């Protein structure tokens, strides 16, 4: 996508797309889960409980928790057999309608994801690194809008980063977005929640507007820093952000363009090495927090999928 979010109408809204409550294996009620996120400065949360028979296939109804200052997106983490390395898929589906039917006997993960996308959901490959997804697995999930490139819970196992698989898929021509999430369960042994998020550009907190913005890629992801603007002109990219120690441009070619310093808030870097493919922006602050843009496609040869 070259349709960057920064000049889109509206403002950025902070939210988490992958969260669990006591309706599956989380420790807190949906009400307390939402309260935690709102208290941490979030504008919305998607409670995505495990859509499994052992929990009664919950699609947790968080609509009563919505207010003018904070809202929720309905969703679930979907499961069906199987991946190359694991017994079941983990698929984030945000924007599911209430009453979404459980998996049918024999329904595969890719089939379930397609059915969820056709029902209106934003589909994410959950924690691919932690699930040991292969490229063949990822390519079979053709309904996915995005890859969960950072998962804070999986980082506990040193498998929180899934950019490698994402870059391989992008280099093969798959038009995928990228998002960060904390996968919070709020169990005592887990890392704290509210540690990774998306900043979604939309006119309002209306759930339908947030969902449409997610599908359009009008967001960036973060574990700390803020991206204020990204602009492309004359074969270069200019990045404006909160104070960071490093700005990286990486993408569809080995290597990177790098700017380093203390409290960098703006820099311009060349894009020549990525001109036949795509690039993406990463910034890193002094505490090690990072923020990521979505992939920015510079070549005209790739074909984008429908946003529905």
Q: What is the pLDDT of residues 109-133, one digit of tens each?
A: 999 999 999 999 999 999 999 999 9
- The mean predicted confidence, pLDDT, of the chain is 96
Question: What are 176-216's pLDDT values in tens digits?
Answer: 999 999 999 999 999 888 999 999 999 999 999 999 999 99
CA distance 184 to 73: 16
Please give the average per-residue pLDDT across 58-71, as a whole number. Answer: 98
pLDDT in tens, 10-53: 999 999 999 999 999 999 999 999 999 999 999 999 999 999 99
pTM, two decimal places = 0.96
Segment 266-289 shows an average pLDDT of 97
Q: Is the pLDDT of residue 274 over 70?
A: yes
**164 Cβ contact partners less than 8 Å away, ≥ 6 residues apart:** 129
Domains along the chain?
11-221 (3.20.20.140), 227-297 (2.60.40.10)
Judged against a pLDDT cut of 50, whether residue 305 lies above it is answered with no
* 248-259: b (≥16 Cβ within 10 Å) or e: bbbbbeeeebeb
Confidence of residue 219 (pLDDT cuts 50, 70, 90): very high
Q: What whole-number distance in Å separates Cα of residue 248 and Cα of residue 269?
A: 9
For a pLDDT cut of 90, what percent of the chain falls above it? 94
DSSP string, 151-188: EHHHHTTT--B-HHHHHHHHHTT---EEEEE--B---T
Calculate mean pLDDT across residues 73-95: 98
pLDDT at 302: 42
Distance of CA 243 to the CA centre of its chain: 23
């Amino acid at each position: 996508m070259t349709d960057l979010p920064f000049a889109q109408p509206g403002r950025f809204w902070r939210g988490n797309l992958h969260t669990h409550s006591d309706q599956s294996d989380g420790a807190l009620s949906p009400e307390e889960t939402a309260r935690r996120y709102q208290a941490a400065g979030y504008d919305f949360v998607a409670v995505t409980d495990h859509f499994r028979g052992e929990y009664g296939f919950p699609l947790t109804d968080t609509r009563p928790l919505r207010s003018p200052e904070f809202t929720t997106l309905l969703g679930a983490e979907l499961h069906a057999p199987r991946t190359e390395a694991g017994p079941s898929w983990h698929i984030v589906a945000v924007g599911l309608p209430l009453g979404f039917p459980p998996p049918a006997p024999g329904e595969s993960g890719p089939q379930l994801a397609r059915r969820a996308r056709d029902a209106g959901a934003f589909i994410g490959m959950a924690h691919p690194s932690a699930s040991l997804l292969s490229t063949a697995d990822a390519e079979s999930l053709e309904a996915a809008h995005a890859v969960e490139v950072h998962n804070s819970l999986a980082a506990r196992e040193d498998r929180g980063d899934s950019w490698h698989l994402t870059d391989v898929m992008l280099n093969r021509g798959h038009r995928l977005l990228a998002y960060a999430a904390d996968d919070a369960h709020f169990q005592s042994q887990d890392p704290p929640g509210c540690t990774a998020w998306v900043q979604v550009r939309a006119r309002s907190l209306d759930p339908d507007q947030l969902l449409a913005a997610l599908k359009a890629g009008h967001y960036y992801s973060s574990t700390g820093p803020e991206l204020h603007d990204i602009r492309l002109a004359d074969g270069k990219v200019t990045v404006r952000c909160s104070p960071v120690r490093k700005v990286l441009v990486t993408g569809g070619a080995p290597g990177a363009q790098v700017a380093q310093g203390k409290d960098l808030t703006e820099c311009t870097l060349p894009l020549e090495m990525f001109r036949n493919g795509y690039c993406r922006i990463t910034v890193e602050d002094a505490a090690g927090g990072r923020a990521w843009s979505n992939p920015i496609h510079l070549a005209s040869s790739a074909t984008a999928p429908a946003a529905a």
